[in-house]
Amino acid sequence: GAVVSQHPSWVICKSGTSVKIECRSLDFQATTMFWYRQFPKQSLMLMATSNEGSKATYEQGVEKDKFLINHASLTLSTLTVTSAHPEDSSFYICSARGGLAGDISPYDNEQFFGPGTRLTVL
Amino acid sequence: GEDVEQSLFLSVREGDSSVINCTYTDSSSTYLYWYKQEPGAGLQLLTYIFSNMDMKQDQRLTVLLNKKDKHLSLRIADTQTGDSAIYFCAESIRGSYIPTFGRGTSLIVHP
């Protein structure tokens, strides 16, 4: 099946620094990538949706200047947490979709998830 | 309350059936999903059911949907230790296919 990787798998940084997380689709071209955030024992919350070559669409309440998303190619999207603070500590998960949008079926529009990145801000 | 709710933990004995329950609030939900997340891995789509269906069976997995009560369940027959994982219930509306997730149920299978 389709594979999505994330790098790094975990990162610890000091407050005020910026952290970049990469999401790659290894064996397919991802027209759309998604970024989620998950707090302990909470559900995955969609942060933003990005299509290759265009600006990301952020969910309500997500600061676009805080969480910079770049989807420069069909196999790579990056999430940069700028000026990270302890409250940004979380598990960040990306997913990628290569199917066409439209009323086909969930399997045609299936998102393939990366293993996640654990961010800890001290 | 949350859009999709599920209990956090379930413990079963190997060989028994597991039933993971989920409730959702959005009556316009079109697709209901079950995802599996194993340690260190991404979420994997196990199965989905369209909202006009009552049941879907796929090998050891049986999905039951009660649309009136907005209740979804996943039954795993003959549960094995390899089934130990976190199972996420999710829903999406027509044409979206972007799931809204529950908090996940940790299934622990013991000998």
pLDDT of residue A28: 86
pLDDT of residue A1: 65
Mean pLDDT of chain A: 89
Asked whether the beta carbons of A91 and A37 are under 8 A apart, the reply is yes
Please indicate if any CB of chain B lies within 8 Å of the CB of A53. no
Task: List the one residue out of B35, B15, B10 whose CA is nearest residue B91.
Answer: B35
Q: Of B33, B97, B101, which is closest to A43 when you measure between CB atoms?
A: B101
pLDDT score of A114 more than 80:
yes
- Mutant choice from B5, B26, B97 vs A, greatest count of A C-beta within 10 A: B97
> Quick one: average pLDDT of A61-69?
95
> Quick one: average pLDDT of A112-119?
94
pLDDT score of A30 more than 70:
yes
pLDDT score of A107 more than 80:
no
pLDDT score of A105 more than 70:
no
pLDDT score of A101 more than 60:
no
Nearest-Cα residue of chain A relative to residue B89: A43
Residues of chain A positioned with their CB less than 8 A from the CB of B88? 43-44
pLDDT score of A102 more than 80:
no
Tell me the pLDDT band of A85, cut-offs 50, 70 and 90: very high
Identify the burial level of A121 via C-beta atoms within 10 angstroms of its C-beta, where 0-12 means exposed, 13-18 middle and 19 or more buried: buried
Write out chain B's pLDDT in tens, 111 residues.
Answer: 568 999 899 999 999 999 999 999 887 878 899 999 998 788 899 999 988 889 999 999 999 999 999 999 999 999 999 999 999 999 988 777 788 999 999 999 999
Q: What are phi and psi of A86, to 5 degrees?
A: -55, -30
pLDDT of residue A64: 93
Q: Of A4, A103, A113, which is closest to B95 when you measure between CB atoms?
A: A103
pLDDT of residue A92: 96
- pLDDT digit string, tens, across residues A68-84: 999 888 899 999 999 99
Q: How far apart are CA A97 and CA A95, in angstroms?
A: 7
Please indicate if any CB of chain A lies within 8 Å of the CB of B72. no
Q: What residues contact A43, with CB distance under 8 A and at least 6 apart?
A: B2, B4, B88, B100, B101, B102, B103, B104
> Quick one: average pLDDT of A7-14?
96
pLDDT of residue B2: 64
Tell me the pLDDT band of A8, cut-offs 50, 70 and 90: very high
